[in-house]
Amino acid sequence: MTRPAEQPARWTFLTSHARVLAAVADNPYARIRDIAEDCRLTERAVSGILSDLETAGYLSRTRVGRRTAYTVSPDAPLRHPADQERGRTVADTLGIVGADQRHS
Sequence ranges of the domains in the chain: 16-103
Task: Give yes or no for residue 80 having a pLDDT over 50.
Answer: yes
CA 84 – CA 11 distance, rounded (Å): 21
pLDDT in tens, 38-65: 999 999 999 999 999 999 999 999 999 9
Percent of the chain's residues with pLDDT above 90: 55
pLDDT in tens, 11-32: 777 889 999 999 999 999 999 9
* Model-wide pTM > 0.85: no
Task: Give yes or no for residue 37 having a pLDDT over 60.
Answer: yes
Mean of per-residue pLDDT scores for the chain: 82
Computed on alpha carbons and rounded to an integer, the radius of gyration of the chain in Å comes to 15
What are the two backbone dihedrals, phi and then psi, of residue 93, each rounded to the nearest 5 degrees? -65, -45
Average pLDDT over residues 64-80: 88
Domain range 16-103, CATH architecture: Orthogonal Bundle (1.10)
